[in-house]
Structure 1
Amino acid sequence: MGVIPLAGRPSPASAAKSQTSAVPKITPEAGQWFMARGGLLDGPVIDAGATVKVKIAGKAGIPASGVASVAMNIAASGRTGTGQLIAYPSGVVMPDTTTIRYRQYFYSQNLVFVGVGSDGNVTLTNDSSSAVRIYVDAHGYSLSAPGAQVGATFVPVKPERIGQVDVPANGTAEAALLGKAGVPSAGVSGVLFTLSGSSDVDGKLTVFSAEESMPNDTNLDYGQNLLVQNQVIGRVDESGKIKMANTGSKPIKASLDVAGYFAKPEAAVKGSTVQPITPTRLVNDVTVPANGTYTIAPLGQGGVPASGVSGVYLNVTNYHRTGNGVLRVHPSGTTASETHAVTFQQTWTYSGALPAKLGADGKIAISNASSSPVRIWVDQFAYFKTPATGCTGAAPAADPAPRVKVAAAVPEPHNPTTVFQASAVAGGSTGVLQLAYTDGIGRLMHGSADPSALGSIQWTPIHGQEGYYGQPALGEQADGRLNVLAHNLDGDVWSRTQVTKDPAAWGDWVDVNGPMGSTVTVARHDDTLVAFAADAAGTLRALPQYAANDPYQNWIDLGVTGLSADTAPLAVPVANGLRLFFLDASGTWRTALYARGTVSDCATLSGPGHSGNASVVTYPGSRLRIFVRNPDGHIVTKAQDASGNFQATWNQVGDLVAAGSPSAVLSPGSGKTEIVVRGTDDRIHSTGETVQGSGQWRAWVDAQPDYDTSVPATDPTAFTYSATNGPTWSYLFRTVNQQTRLYWPEEETARLASKSPEFGSRALPKPPAAR
């Protein structure tokens, strides 16, 4: 057979390029974070039992009004003994909490998030019998109302070690923070990490952006062979690096343990806002046994809501009579990593603050990594409020019965094939067509073909030692590497990405965890990919990349419930995000807009009783037209108007009764919408618009040539692509024996408005035999 005049749509890479920065930044909101650094108190002595007001508003680059909270780094040294300082918002009664424990002749340091009083001050009380000298520096702030500028949002992560840095004596060293330990490789303005180290000489460590001059303050005082730590907001430069200066006479090895990061307004996923509370004690003198764990439940306590919280800012104080050790703070239900949250040494009382991510049960674990018990006190100073998301205006349908796949699940042999055209390799004019499907024994087959010579398609089983079911999803990383997502037979979604595009070579499969009920779909969101599925309980979830080319992290709850697990959500790129279409458990089609990790602009599109999958075409201006099969089996459609509203009623497309779901494309040749669907007669039928954008349709016709007796076992997949002789479209299906049949329209652009295309057809090469 000669060259097939194949189809063309913009390749994912070029489509992504046109969508880059299309999704608007988040808007100003109370609790967003702003970086600021400067002195607040410069070495005054506070007498025993005395109280001072620390002016926050109008100092160190902080606004003169409307300040909700401040990140205060406090350095304190007792004049005649040990003691503690208590920081709290001006105007409230002093709480029974601890902010920093100090000792004589040595500066202890602790960075805490503290609420700011209505007068712009923070109160600081020396709750001890010794006078104390203190230094206080600001490291950032949040506002009580939306500001003129949009700020960063905060994402707590499970504490992990970024690495260790050797800082020379009286010198500096650089550390790269991005792309490690759960921190994205881009879209980050600052990283919160615990800085720890030990030395037999006295010295100071100062952390600052690699593109800035060294500031006058200090992040960590060390010496006396003490293992000391402090929380640090590491403001990163454009390359994701920080500098660390050491004023000691010996080099020091510093450990960096990440606990969270600040996401820029244009980051792929919006984080939480910082919400201060009056400091509240959660744990009062509890003993954690050697190598034991104590779990705390901050939700609903001391001003922290019972839900909608991603983490809390804690201060952990400990006392240990004998021996040394480390406390590790981590989300409940996870295993503690080799990190330092708070250190302890015999006969000394220590304090250490950090953001703590909640576990799935809303709790936090504190593990005692030592061979002897330790007493702890825990106070919380702020919480991190998750962004509002979900279709709150529409009543969800009843929860569907869970549809959980188990290891013994039987693969589903006749799911549709996924097709898209990749971006061209260097020096190429057209991209390779990529195809994927799962068969009846759990193999996942990947095919790639020159769009001008599909007869040369090469099928490769890429399932490895695993088994998969359902229609897989294909996406392309920002750097052009192919990514596939598919349901493992254990119910989890697994991901596999090419390590190189040219030559094409696959990396390992990665289990992204969390069983999903529906199959998975993936779409481009600016320069990142985001996958969608409904879990077994019918909750809509997203699996985003947090930066271009990064691994997927965790499934996030989009706040939409009551969905069907039998139909995969559909995601369509639009100017302001991704327009999602999903079927609820009652068979009602619904829609929402996804942008930066949240959904909004929700609407109900149909009545109940629908089933199957939707197909959507995009007109210029991000106007969409959706096609579904209604409860009577007819194909119906509705379109958005110029203001983005969908038509109130569905329009029926002809009289055909369909047996499967429609597949529609916007023909590159004619500019008209074309539809194919499997009929009850086991043939593929087609129709299309009589005039561009009219919503008026030709009569349905048999889309298989008369000589073609092939029987489709799957729904057809229509797709557009570009070949050497220009753009066009085609469709394909598989037979009961997994034979792929391809069909393309003949002389499409020359036909009359009422004339349907005639299709050519051929069988594509068979996949390799099962072994």
Structure 2
Amino acid sequence: MSTVESRRGVAVLVTALVALALAVVPGRPAAHADAASRGGDYVPFTVARSVLDTRSGAGGVTGSRGAKSVTTFPVLGVGGIPTSGVSALYLRVVAVTPTADTYLTVWPDGATQPSVSMVNVMATQTLSNGAIVRPGANGRVAVFNSAGTVHVVVEVHGYFTTSTGTTNGGFVPVTPSRVINTNTGLGITAGAIPAGASRTISLATAGVPVGAASVFAQITLSPPAARGYFQATASGTTGVQPLMDYENGINNAAGTAITLGADGKVIVTNKGSGAAHFVVDLMGYATKTSTAGAGLRPVTGRLYAGQIAASSSIDVAVGGTNGLPTRGIAGAALSMQAGGGSVAGALRAWSTGTAEPAATQTQFAANSTHRSSTVIKPGTDGKVRVRNLSSSAITVYIDLEGWFAEPQPVVPVVPDTPVTVVQAPATGGQLVGALEYAYVDNIGRVVIGHQENLDNFGTVQYTVISGNEAFTGRPALNAKPDGSLAVFAQYSDGGDVWSSSQTAPRAATWTGWSDLGGSLAAAPAAVTLANGSTALFAADVDGKLWAHTAGVWRNLGDVDLTGTPVAVQVRDGIQVFGRVSDGTVGTLLFRTDGTTSAWTGLGGTGQGTPSVVVYPGYRLRVFATAADGAITTKVQDAAGVFPAAWDGVGTLVAAGAPSAILDPQLGRTAVVARAADGILHASFETTSGSGVFGDWSPVNTPDLPSATDPATTTVNNGSTPLWTITYRAPNGTVVVYDRRGVPGAAAFGEPTLLAAPR
């Protein structure tokens, strides 16, 4: 007698997708493309546009700004700035002679005020800094003054477009380098620039071609004898572009965008009352070619807050945070604040994994705080290395203002991917949670199924939640702390992961999508951590295993992983299993504290994602498909050690990955796999805990063949424990078999057939 035993019936859920009348949640614009295809071009001005000057009333505001004040002013449609099609502006923000130590914050009007500064200034000083800021939906920008009273000046040096033009291009990074230094005569006549004097400098160097539109640079001044500011005039023009305000007696630094003449030259003029040295560190340039350069994606977020010890460095994750990919970032627009040290010093930032440059970013005086902006191309694993060049520990804040996107690879839609099925937690006084289904169909749509009645599989409500965006691979579902579910799916443009959530626990409606970044090669696995949050695990094209926790993707090591891993909760954290490029299976432990064990090879050669069953005591049994299609298994001993050998499970030749489950009623392990003809077969342990498996027996019939690997799910319906097998047929229909445990036997329920939702 077959170990499937008596099959008194088959409960079948069939959904004809072509007939679905499905609600659609609007998608958001795709990200991760170069300037030539999706916008992000930089349009520089040769004459700075004054959009706010509280001294003169520009911007419609007159008079110094008080402590904790918020001042709004228009930017779109002002001074030749377009009224639409602007994704962000490059601003010069000036704090003029405040009555107390203060800082200014600038952000899109109507958005939530960020807890970051753009300019830090001490009482009576006048200092400036560059900043990339999005305009509000109303075309206005807001500025906050922290303390005292202060005059505020905001100028626009250029703007970034939302769509590609024909005369401007994107950002091109260069290795950070010092190209102008009047202290040494590098690229310019040696000697400080006298008050009122001008020098012509060429920035068509260090990889900047003649004809570039502008450069993104850091200007540094050793302590001048008097306060003032520098301005620039692009060669061949008469326009004036103030670059930075500086104070006497201190090192000064500010990020800026400098518009170039057609010959790559610019005339700089010292508008102070004393001589001043002038140093330029180059970070990159903007092209005038519409088919070249990386486009800007405005994103704000804090990347680091903490101390850096004297003469020490830290690596700051940029890629993989705030929805950014882990690769393909031409440059990250960073705002860097440093201070609190007992001596003066500077910060230096560069791509992790590359040689340390001579260029510096933020300069700071003893017992003071200063902020400057820069653009750095992230290096290894999307990180930037930041060094404290002073002999005193300092407090550092690093904030993201945007990033420049290189062309991202398009990940093709993988056909016939499995369905993911989970039961949500019980909430709101309910005894049991609803069943939720998720899959990506063969044209890239994310389809969600919602089933409240756990005894009637004909009550599933289906919704497409992906709009016109395209996804690929098997999506992951996982519960959030409030009991609602989130879905995680791989986006086809760039391979990052997007997420959507139920609008409330048990809801059939879902939120818009959030981009979690990532640059992955396959869809992720999702699992709940001990604190109730979700961790994602996925592989990139290099075979590195990445984990996404607390909003950040982190490289767990290059293990030559391919495909989607599987992750399960264990006593000490999360055990992750995956298929390695040579066909073997491996595993590592992601501990509760975030550390990991070494990657351990489990041997075997084959294909597809393994399947794992967790037994009491957190003993694990792994199933995998061998190279010849045989289903194999191995189980940990009492000490948690896997044996060297894999045991075969019968003689079935499988065409894909298995799915295994612990029968909730009978305590026997079952494994289901698909044969080449689309017939699913199941094999059961002969007795609970024996590890001996019986013959394979067919589950479905030839008229309902499976085009996908099966998914098995335990279901608590509040009465009789059951489990299900779910798959998709070749025509895209979804089929569910439910199996109910009956004392003394194991049987399928009576068959039901579901018509397509209307």
TM-score using structure 2 length = 0.53
Structure 1 residues 452, 746: CA separation in 2 closer, same or farther (over 3 Å shift)?
Answer: closer
Equivalent position amino acid for 1:537 in 2: D
Deviation at 1:613, TM superposition (A): 1.7
For the residues of structure 1 that align with 2:521 and 2:10, how far apart are their CA atoms?
38
Q: Which residue of 2 aligns with 1:530?
A: 535
For the residues of structure 1 that align with 2:664 and 2:206, how far apart are their CA atoms?
59
1:507 aligns with 2:515: no
- 2:607 and 2:656 in contact (8 A); partners too: no
1:563 aligns with 2:561: yes
Q: Which residue of 2 aligns with 1:439?
A: 441
Deviation at 1:591, TM superposition (A): 0.8
For the residues of structure 2 that align with 1:282 and 1:671, how far apart are their CA atoms?
72
Aligned residue among 406, 420, 423 for 2:422: 420
Q: Which residue of 1 aligns with 2:4?
A: none
Unaligned stretches of 5+ in structure 1?
7-164, 170-195, 207-219, 230-245, 254-280, 297-313, 344-349, 372-377, 385-403, 547-551
- 2:416 and 2:707 in contact (8 A); partners too: yes
- 2:559 and 2:599 in contact (8 A); partners too: no
1:611 aligns with 2:604: no
- 1:420 and 1:474 in contact (8 A); partners too: yes
For the residues of structure 1 that align with 2:464 and 2:201, how far apart are their CA atoms?
50
For the residues of structure 2 that align with 1:166 and 1:647, how far apart are their CA atoms?
72
1:593 aligns with 2:597: no
Q: Which moved more, 1:281-290 or 1:316-325?
A: 281-290
1:517 aligns with 2:521: yes
Deviation at 1:459, TM superposition (A): 0.9
For the residues of structure 1 that align with 2:590 and 2:180, how far apart are their CA atoms?
39
Aligned residue among 726, 729, 733 for 2:727: 733
Deviation at 1:638, TM superposition (A): 0.7
1:658 aligns with 2:654: yes
Unaligned stretches of 5+ in structure 2?
1-7, 13-64, 70-92, 104-119, 130-145, 153-177, 189-199, 208-217, 231-243, 246-252, 257-282, 284-317, 319-328, 363-370, 374-386, 394-406
1:225 aligns with 2:152: no
- 2:345 and 2:389 in contact (8 A); partners too: no
For the residues of structure 1 that align with 2:123 and 2:728, how far apart are their CA atoms?
71
Structure 1 residues 577, 489: CA separation in 2 closer, same or farther (over 3 Å shift)?
Answer: same
Equivalent position amino acid for 1:420 in 2: V
Residues 298-328 of structure 1 show CA distances to partners (whole Å, capped at 9, x for unaligned) of: xxxxxxxxxxxxxxxx998745674434524
Residues 142-192 of structure 1 show CA distances to partners (whole Å, capped at 9, x for unaligned) of: xxxxxxxxxxxxxxxxxxxxxxx98579xxxxxxxxxxxxxxxxxxxxxxx
Q: Which residue of 2 aligns with 1:50?
A: none
Instruction: Find the residue that maps to 2:450 and give its secondary structure.
Output: strand
Equivalent position amino acid for 1:606 in 2: G
Instruction: Find the residue that maps to 1:627 and give its secondary structure.
Output: strand
For the residues of structure 1 that align with 2:441 and 2:744, how far apart are their CA atoms?
38
For the residues of structure 1 that align with 2:546 and 2:434, how far apart are their CA atoms?
30
Instruction: Find the residue that maps to 1:628 and give its secondary structure.
Output: strand
1:691 aligns with 2:695: no
Deviation at 1:746, TM superposition (A): 4.4
Q: Which residue of 2 aligns with 1:474?
A: 477
For the residues of structure 2 that align with 1:472 and 1:533, how far apart are their CA atoms?
12
Structure 1 residues 592, 293: CA separation in 2 closer, same or farther (over 3 Å shift)?
Answer: farther
Residues 611-664 of structure 1 show CA distances to partners (whole Å, capped at 9, x for unaligned) of: 112110111222111001112222111111222111222121222222222111
Q: Which residue of 1 aligns with 2:139?
A: none
- 2:414 and 2:473 in contact (8 A); partners too: yes
Deviation at 1:603, TM superposition (A): 1.4
Deviation at 1:695, TM superposition (A): 0.6
Structure 1 residues 494, 602: CA separation in 2 closer, same or farther (over 3 Å shift)?
Answer: closer
Aligned length: 465
Q: Which residue of 1 aligns with 2:389?
A: 380
Aligned residue among 744, 750, 753 for 1:750: 744
Aligned residue among 462, 465, 471 for 1:459: 462
Instruction: Find the residue that maps to 2:603 and give its secondary structure.
Output: coil
Instruction: Find the residue that maps to 1:559 and give its secondary structure.
Output: strand
Deviation at 1:600, TM superposition (A): 1.4
Deviation at 1:440, TM superposition (A): 1.6
Equivalent position amino acid for 1:560 in 2: D
Q: Which residue of 2 aligns with 1:117?
A: none
Aligned residue among 490, 493, 518 for 2:493: 490
Q: Which residue of 2 aligns with 1:714?
A: 708
For the residues of structure 2 that align with 1:282 and 1:379, how far apart are their CA atoms?
22
For the residues of structure 1 that align with 2:741 and 2:202, how far apart are their CA atoms?
75
Instruction: Find the residue that maps to 1:655 and give its secondary structure.
Output: coil
For the residues of structure 1 that align with 2:391 and 2:554, how far apart are their CA atoms?
22
- 2:179 and 2:206 in contact (8 A); partners too: no
For the residues of structure 2 that align with 1:441 and 1:328, how far apart are their CA atoms?
45
RMSD of the alignment, in Å? 4.8
Deviation at 1:469, TM superposition (A): 1.8
For the residues of structure 2 that align with 1:743 and 1:290, how far apart are their CA atoms?
75
Equivalent position amino acid for 1:327 in 2: A
For the residues of structure 1 that align with 2:677 and 2:372, how far apart are their CA atoms?
72
Q: Which moved more, 1:642-651 or 1:509-518?
A: 509-518
Structure 1 residues 203, 361: CA separation in 2 closer, same or farther (over 3 Å shift)?
Answer: same
For the residues of structure 1 that align with 2:450 and 2:201, how far apart are their CA atoms?
57
Aligned residue among 573, 576, 593 for 1:577: 573
Structure 1 residues 419, 685: CA separation in 2 closer, same or farther (over 3 Å shift)?
Answer: same
Instruction: Find the residue that maps to 1:436 and give its secondary structure.
Output: strand
Structure 1 residues 360, 167: CA separation in 2 closer, same or farther (over 3 Å shift)?
Answer: farther
For the residues of structure 2 that align with 1:556 and 1:295, how far apart are their CA atoms?
33
Deviation at 1:726, TM superposition (A): 4.1
For the residues of structure 1 that align with 2:619 and 2:577, how far apart are their CA atoms?
14
Q: What is the correspondence of 1:270-289 to structure 2 with a 5 Å cutoff?
A: none
For the residues of structure 2 that align with 1:765 and 1:415, how far apart are their CA atoms?
22
- 1:202 and 1:223 in contact (8 A); partners too: yes
TM-score using structure 1 length = 0.52
Deviation at 1:199, TM superposition (A): 7.3
Equivalent position amino acid for 2:457 in 1: L
Instruction: Find the residue that maps to 1:455 and give its secondary structure.
Output: helix
- 2:569 and 2:575 in contact (8 A); partners too: yes
By relative contact order (CA 8 Å, sep 6+), the higher-ranking structure is 2
For the residues of structure 2 that align with 1:293 and 1:676, how far apart are their CA atoms?
65
- 1:742 and 1:763 in contact (8 A); partners too: no
Equivalent position amino acid for 1:742 in 2: V
- 1:633 and 1:658 in contact (8 A); partners too: yes
Aligned residue among 618, 622, 634 for 1:622: 618
For the residues of structure 2 that align with 1:730 and 1:594, how far apart are their CA atoms?
29
Equivalent position amino acid for 2:707 in 1: A
For the residues of structure 1 that align with 2:203 and 2:462, how far apart are their CA atoms?
53
Residues 444-474 of structure 1 show CA distances to partners (whole Å, capped at 9, x for unaligned) of: 2111111233211011111112112211111
Instruction: Find the residue that maps to 1:621 and give its secondary structure.
Output: helix
Residues 199-224 of structure 1 show CA distances to partners (whole Å, capped at 9, x for unaligned) of: 75665689xxxxxxxxxxxxx99322
Instruction: Find the residue that maps to 2:389 and give its secondary structure.
Output: strand
Structure 1 residues 437, 647: CA separation in 2 closer, same or farther (over 3 Å shift)?
Answer: same
Structure 1 residues 205, 723: CA separation in 2 closer, same or farther (over 3 Å shift)?
Answer: same
Instruction: Find the residue that maps to 2:458 and give its secondary structure.
Output: helix
For the residues of structure 1 that align with 2:344 and 2:677, how far apart are their CA atoms?
74
- 2:347 and 2:389 in contact (8 A); partners too: no
Equivalent position amino acid for 1:611 in 2: Q
